[in-house]
């Protein structure tokens, strides 16, 4: 029957049958489609993965507008966390060979020399590769530091299952060295600037920080379990520092998580919802320190994020303020003219499903001043307090929130084509699928939302009972000395400054740009310490009588070395 079901799924291509409206009906038909669509994008035998090496996940078979026929470490790791959960939880025992292939492929990718460096000099933060396992050498947003954390999390889940099933030798001798490379990278570089998961802003990112924290916590636990304790102290201390830093993204005045420390946007972003669901640990309850899905901060953030789209997309017109709407990456988005994303829409539903499962486990709902606005969407008269599972308020709230969550699924269902294929986006005016077709991450988002709605809980990762240190200890990571020299003729009173893509270079802020000295005029100079093994973009600017003049495009760019000093000799453009 299963084979017939999958055959019928692929046979739906071109069908005019409409997707069912209810969440129940949608998941019953879409889950097998999503599973088949996901597996079709994994090499070497996936139906749409031609040319991909074994274990390589293609982002999408799309090759034109946009070309997504690459493998991203982030996307691949999130996809294989889904596959690994299904295998280790006993849902699909046929998936073990896929996980082994993924491990082999990723272990090989770790060693590939790429524009971000070698395995020991920053190469682990390279975001994407060609599907034959070779380096992608074109221009891109580098580095992206969430990949090593997410990859280690997927592999740690597998390692823990292997240990529980008596295979400690393979874990210790084969899996652990690969996992340790990623964990050591996270421990060393977590506080360095990174491009966010949308590959647009180079700063610090809530999603990246959250998944880095998780990786080090469960990495420390795995190391202890297999007796590899040399790194445990470092992992634990850096995890504490990361957890401390994670708190700084919370904006108490406006009640939401600012997704990125740079970029000039509002910070209302699907990044934060995705972070909450990918760091869910039901044993942590509604803990706000780790921004668990049912925590008051995560719920307040969810309301602000969802509401920010109510007037942005025409397809949301006429929907009342307490109902689900189409949501996207962030309200200022202009990619493909700015549209809802399927994975963002499913993520909202999933956070709510996770919350419902956690409240059920805890046996109560706590309403605080922080989460009051969220809960008043469903019960306008609700007051702050704790409502046990036997109270009418608990029943009313959980029922209404379940309906609310299902509403996001039903919106995605409404705009899912009849063949069940899920693209990256759907048009903000018509709902028609847009951008990359058969996006593997979109299929993964269906599977994780459906699993949570069905009551399936991933293994705990150790989020329970954590306390953030009162004082954060930043980790600057490896630094190298860089001297900026620029030949620039100026008039009296005019000065030269440098600004660029990392924190030290003020994240492109002309107001706080670093001044250069004209000791050897007309050469202006400055020496600063910058992150090692990092691609740096920068420009010089002139300031005169309050006016700022920038160098002409394009940005200057260079890669800092692993050690030692570096000198740049430029001329003003």
- The pLDDT tens digits for 513-526 are 999 999 899 999 99
- Position 14 confidence tier, pLDDT thresholds 50, 70, 90: very low
Q: What's the average model confidence in pLDDT over 289-300?
A: 98
Q: What is the pLDDT of residue 7?
A: 33
- Between 503 and 541, name the one with better pLDDT: 541
- The pLDDT tens digits for 244-277 are 999 999 999 999 999 999 888 999 999 999 999 9
Q: What is the pLDDT of residue 411?
A: 97
Percent of the chain surpassing pLDDT 90: 88
- The pLDDT tens digits for 39-68 are 999 999 999 999 999 999 999 999 999 999
Q: Is 12 a residue whose pLDDT tops 80?
A: no
Please give the annotated binding residues for substrate, written as ranges: 140
Q: Is 532 a residue whose pLDDT tops 70?
A: yes
Give the integer Cα–Cα distance in Å for 331 and 364.
33
Give the integer Cα–Cα distance in Å for 436 and 457.
30
Q: Do domains 253-477 and 479-571 have the same CATH topology?
A: no
Q: What's the average model confidence in pLDDT over 201-223?
A: 97
Q: Which of 463, 465, 484 is nearest to 539 (CA)?
A: 484
Per DSSP, 514 falls in state: E
Domain ranges of the chain: 39-189, 253-477, 479-571
Q: Is 1 a residue whose pLDDT tops 70?
A: no
Q: Is 9 a residue whose pLDDT tops 80?
A: no
- The pLDDT tens digits for 458-488 are 999 999 999 999 888 766 678 899 999 999 9
Q: Is 16 a residue whose pLDDT tops 60?
A: no
List the catalytic residue out of 199, 200, 332, 494: 199
Could you tell me which residues are beta bridge partners of residue 328? 340
- The pLDDT tens digits for 120-152 are 888 999 999 999 999 999 999 999 999 999 999
When the pLDDT of each residue in the chain is averaged and rounded to a whole number, the result is: 93
Q: What is the pLDDT of residue 17?
A: 33
Q: Is 3 a residue whose pLDDT tops 80?
A: no
Q: Is 442 exposed, middle or buried (0-12, 13-18, 19+ CB in 10 A)?
A: buried
Q: What is the pLDDT of residue 197?
A: 94
Q: What is the pLDDT of residue 135?
A: 97
Give the integer Cα–Cα distance in Å for 211 and 438.
25
Q: Is 104 a residue whose pLDDT tops 80?
A: yes
Q: What is the pLDDT of residue 561?
A: 86
- The pLDDT tens digits for 404-444 are 999 999 999 999 999 999 999 999 999 999 999 999 999 99
Residue 460: count of CB within 10 angstroms of its CB? 14
Q: What fold characterizes domain 253-477?
A: Glycosyltransferase (1.50.10)
Q: What is the pLDDT of residue 8?
A: 32
Is 287 a known active-site residue? no
- Position 534 confidence tier, pLDDT thresholds 50, 70, 90: confident
What is the chain's alpha carbon radius of gyration, rounded to the nearest angstrom? 24
**8 Å CB contact between 436 and 199:** no
Q: What's the average model confidence in pLDDT over 8-12?
A: 33
Q: What is the pLDDT of residue 471?
A: 82
Give the integer Cα–Cα distance in Å for 158 and 170.
11
Q: Is 350 a residue whose pLDDT tops 50?
A: yes
Place of tokens 């150790």: 462
Question: Residues with Cβ < 8 Å from 94, sequence gap 6 or more?
Answer: none
Mind spelling out the 3-state secondary structure of 281-346?
Answer: CHHHCCCCCCCCCCCHHHHHHHHHHHHCCCCCCHHHCCCCCCCCCCCECCCCCCHHHCCEEHHHHH
Give the integer Cα–Cα distance in Å for 535 and 541.
20
| Dihedral angle sign, alpha carbons of residues 371, 374, 375, 380 | positive
Q: Is 335 exposed, middle or buried (0-12, 13-18, 19+ CB in 10 A)?
A: middle
Place of tokens 């007796």: 227
Percent of the chain surpassing pLDDT 70: 96
Give the integer Cα–Cα distance in Å for 148 and 47.
28
Q: Which of 330, 324, 323 is nearest to 305 (CA)?
A: 330
Q: Is 341 a residue whose pLDDT tops 80?
A: yes
List the catalytic residue out of 30, 85, 182, 196: 196
Q: What is the pLDDT of residue 502?
A: 85
Q: What's the average model confidence in pLDDT over 487-497?
A: 95
Q: Is 10 a residue whose pLDDT tops 60?
A: no
Is 354 a known active-site residue? no
Q: Which of 343, 336, 329 is nearest to 429 (CA)?
A: 336
- The pLDDT tens digits for 360-377 are 999 999 999 999 999 999
Task: Find the distance separating the first CA and the last CA of the chain, reported in whole Å.
Answer: 68
Q: What is the pLDDT of residue 476?
A: 67
Backbone phi and psi for residue 367, each to the nearest 5 degrees, phi listed first: -105, 120
Per DSSP, 135 falls in state: B
Q: What fold characterizes domain 479-571?
A: Immunoglobulin-like (2.60.40)
């Amino acid at each position: 029957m299963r084979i017939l079901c999958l055959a019928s799924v692929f046979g739906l291509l071109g069908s005019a049958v409409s997707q069912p409206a209810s969440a129940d009906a949608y998941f019953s038909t879409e889950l097998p489609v999503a599973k088949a669509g996901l597996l079709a994008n994994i090499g070497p035998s996936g139906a749409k993965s031609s040319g991909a090496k074994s274990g390589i996940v293609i982002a999408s078979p799309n090759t034109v507008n946009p070309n997504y026929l690459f493998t991203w470490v982030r996307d691949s790791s999130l996809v294989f966390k889904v596959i690994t959960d299904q295998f280790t939880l006993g849902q699909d025992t046929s998936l073990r060979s896929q996980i082994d292939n993924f491990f082999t492929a990723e272990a090989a990718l770790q060693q590939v020399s790429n524009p971000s460096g070698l395995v020991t000099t920053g190469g682990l933060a390279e975001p994407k590769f060609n599907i034959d396992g070779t380096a992608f050498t074109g221009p891109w947003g580098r580095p992206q530091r969430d990949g090593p954390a997410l990859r280690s999390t997927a592999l740690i889940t597998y390692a823990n299952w292997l240990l529980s099933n008596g295979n400690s030798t393979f874990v210790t001798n084969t899996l652990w060295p690969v996992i340790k490379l990623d964990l050591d990278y996270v421990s060393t570089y977590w506080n360095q600037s990174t491009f966010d998961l949308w590959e647009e802003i180079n700063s610090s990112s809530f999603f990246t920080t959250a998944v880095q924290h998780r990786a080090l916590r469960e990495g420390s636990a795995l190391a202890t379990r297999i007796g590899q304790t040399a790194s445990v102290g470092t992992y634990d201390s850096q995890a504490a520092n990361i957890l401390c830093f994670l708190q700084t993204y919370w904006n108490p005045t406006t009640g939401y998580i600012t997704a990125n420390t740079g970029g000039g946007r509002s910070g209302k972003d699907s990044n934060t919802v995705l972070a909450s669901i990918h760091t869910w640990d039901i044993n942590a309850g509604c803990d706000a320190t780790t921004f668990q899905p049912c925590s008051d901060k995560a719920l307040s953030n969810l309301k602000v994020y969802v509401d920010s789209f109510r007037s942005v997309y025409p397809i949301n017109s006429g929907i009342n303020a307490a109902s689900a709407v189409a949501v996207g990456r962030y309200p200022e988005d202009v990619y493909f003219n700015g549209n809802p994303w399927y994975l963002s829409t499913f993520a909202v539903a999933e956070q709510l499903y996770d919350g419902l499962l956690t409240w059920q486990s805890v046996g109560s709902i706590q309403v605080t001043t922080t989460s009051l606005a969220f809960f008043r969407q469903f019960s306008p008269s609700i007051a702050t307090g704790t409502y046990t599972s036997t109270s009418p308020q608990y029943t009313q709230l959980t029922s209404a929130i379940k309906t609310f969550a299902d509403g996001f699924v039903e919106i995605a269902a409404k705009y899912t084509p009849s063949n069940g294929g899920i693209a990256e986006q759907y048009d903000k005016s018509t709902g028609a699928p847009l951008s990359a077709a058969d996006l593997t991450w979109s299929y993964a988002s269906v599977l994780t939302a459906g699993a949570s709605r069905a009551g399936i809980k991933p293994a705990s990762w150790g989020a329970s009972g954590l306390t953030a240190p009162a004082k954060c200890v930043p980790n600057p990571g490896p630094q190298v000395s860089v001297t900026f020299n620029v030949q620039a003729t100026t008039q009296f009173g005019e000065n030269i400054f440098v600004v660029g893509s990392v924190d030290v270079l003020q994240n492109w802020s002309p107001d706080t740009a670093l001044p250069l000295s004209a000791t050897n005029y007309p050469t202006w100079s400055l020496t600063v310490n910058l992150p090692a093994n990092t691609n740096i973009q920068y420009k010089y600017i002139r300031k005169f009588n309050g006016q700022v003049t920038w160098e002409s495009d394009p940005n200057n760019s260079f890669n800092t070395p692993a050690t030692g000093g570096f000198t740049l000799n430029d001329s003003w453009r």
